[in-house]
Structure 1
Amino acid sequence: MSQLRNIAANGLWNQNAVLGQMLGLCSLLAISTSVVNAVSLGLATIFVMGMSSLIVSSLRAFIPYEIRIPIFILIIAALVTVVDMAMNAWLRDLYLVLGIFIPLIVVNCIVLARVEAFAAKNPAGLSAFDGVMMGVGFVWVIGLLGAVRELIGQGTLFSGIEMIIPSASAIQILPADYPGFLVAILPPGAFFVLGLMVAGRNWLDYRANQRIHAQRAQQSAAAVAG
C-alpha cells in the first residue's frame, strides 16, 4: 500500500508530467481551450498510458533491449489507433474538434517517457497503476487549464458538452453579456495560465518544505533539551 501511495503521489503531484517535468506541452497548450476538449484528450491519454504500461511490462522479458524504443512506439501507436477509430465512430463531432492531437498521443513525451522509465522495469500491475496515475495527473492539469481559459475567455464551463451528451449544454458562469477575453483562449493565454499554475505548485512545495524543516528543527531542539 505504501508503494501504491507513492506511485499515486508521484503521478498526481510530486512528479507530475506537466507541472513537474514540463512534458506534453504541445497538445496541452493547443487543445485546452475548453474543459470538454481538454478532459476528452486527457481521458484518451489515460487509456493509452495505462494499457501501454501494462503491455510493455508484461512483455518486457521478451523485448530485446536494443530495439525496445521502436517496439514501445509500435505498441503505443496501436493503442492510439484504437482510440482514434473509436472516437471517429462514436464521437464524430468531438473527433473532428480534437483532430490531429489524437494521433499525436503517439509522440507525446509523457507516454513514452513513463513506459521507458517505469513499465520496462516493474511488474505489470504496478506499471498499469503508474500509467493511470500519470494520466490522471495530466488530466487534472489540462482540465484545470481548460476551465480557467474557458471561463475567462467565454464566461462558460463545459462548452461543447453536447458533442458527448446531446441533451446537455454549457453552463453560463459569468453574465450573459460578458464580452469575453480573447487572449485567454489564444496561445498566449495558455502560456500565462500554465505559468501561474507552475508558480503556484512551486510555492506550495516551498511552503511544505519550510514546514518540514521547522518540524525537524523543533524535534532536534527537543532532543537536545531532553
Structure 2
Amino acid sequence: MIKEQIKDGLWKQNAGLVQLLGLCPTLAVTVNITNGFALGVATIFVMMLSNISISPIRNYVPESARVPIFILVIAGLVTIVDLSINALSKPLYDALGIFIPLIVTNCIVLARVEAFASKNTTLPSLYDGFFMGLGLTFVLIILGAVREIVGNGTLFQNVHFLIGDKYEFLTIQLFDSSDGFLLAALPPGAFIALSALILFLNLVNQKR
C-alpha cells in the first residue's frame, strides 16, 4: 500500500500538478527556492499531524460536524507551526507572510483529511500526509528555482533565513538581476511556469 501512496503523492495525484489544490500559496510564495521549500515543509508537518490527529477519532466524529471539527484541528496545528516559524526565523516568517496561517484554508490539507484520514487507520494516514505534502513541496521547489533563476538571476536567495546568517554566502548570483526576466518573478510568471510543469507531466503520462 505504501508504494501506491508514494506514486499517488509524488505523481499520479500530485496536489499541485494533478489535483490543482492550493494554487494561491503555490503561485504567490514561489519567488525563490527558500520560500517554496519552507512553505512545503510547513505543509508537510500540518498534513501529517492533521491526518494522525483525525484518523484515531474518525469513528467518533458526528457526520454533521465533520468539516468544522477537521478545520478546528487543522487550525490548532497551523497555529503551532506559525508560532514556531516566527520563533525560529523572523525574516522567513515575514517573507512567507499570510500564507502560513492560510494553510488552515488550504484545500490540500482538508481534502486529504476528508478523503483519506477520515476513512483509514493512523499509519497509512501518516504516510498519506507525508507523501502528498512531499509531492507539493517538490512542485514548490521547482517553481521557486525556475522563477528565481529567470527572474532574478540567483539561486538559493535568502537561504540564510533557514540555516543562519553565516550561510548567506550560499546564495549563488548567476547573472545580474537587472538582466532577469521580470515576468518570471510576478504572478503571471508563476502561472506560466506551473503550466509548463503540468504540460511536462501530461506528456510523460501520455508517452507511458
- For residues 36 and 97 of structure 1, the distance between their equivalents in structure 2, rounded to whole angstroms, comes to 10
Over 3 Å counting, the alpha-carbon distance change for 1:66 and 1:167 in structure 2 is same
**What residue in structure 2 maps to residue 168 of structure 1?**
167
Q: CA deviation at 1:155?
A: 1.3
- Matched positions, count: 206
Residue pairs, 1:1-226, within 5 angstroms: 3-165=1-163, 166-169=165-168, 170-172=170-172, 174-176=174-176, 179-208=179-208
Q: Equivalent pairs: percent with the same residue? A: 48
- For residues 153 and 56 of structure 1, the distance between their equivalents in structure 2, rounded to whole angstroms, comes to 41
Q: The residue matched to 1:33 in structure 2 has which SS?
A: coil
**2:153–2:177 contact (8 Å) kept in structure 1:** no
Which segments of 5 or more consecutive residues in structure 2 lack a partner in the other structure? Answer: none
Q: Which of structures 1 and 2 has the bigger CA Rg?
A: 1
Over 3 Å counting, the alpha-carbon distance change for 1:97 and 1:32 in structure 2 is same
**Matched AA of 2:190:** A
Over 3 Å counting, the alpha-carbon distance change for 1:152 and 1:70 in structure 2 is same
- For residues 114 and 123 of structure 2, the distance between their equivalents in structure 1, rounded to whole angstroms, comes to 16
- For residues 107 and 175 of structure 1, the distance between their equivalents in structure 2, rounded to whole angstroms, comes to 38
Query: Taking structure 1 as the reference length, what is the TM-score of the superposition?
Result: 0.89
Which segments of 5 or more consecutive residues in structure 1 lack a partner in the other structure? Answer: 209-226
Q: RMSD in angstroms over aligned alpha carbons?
A: 1.1
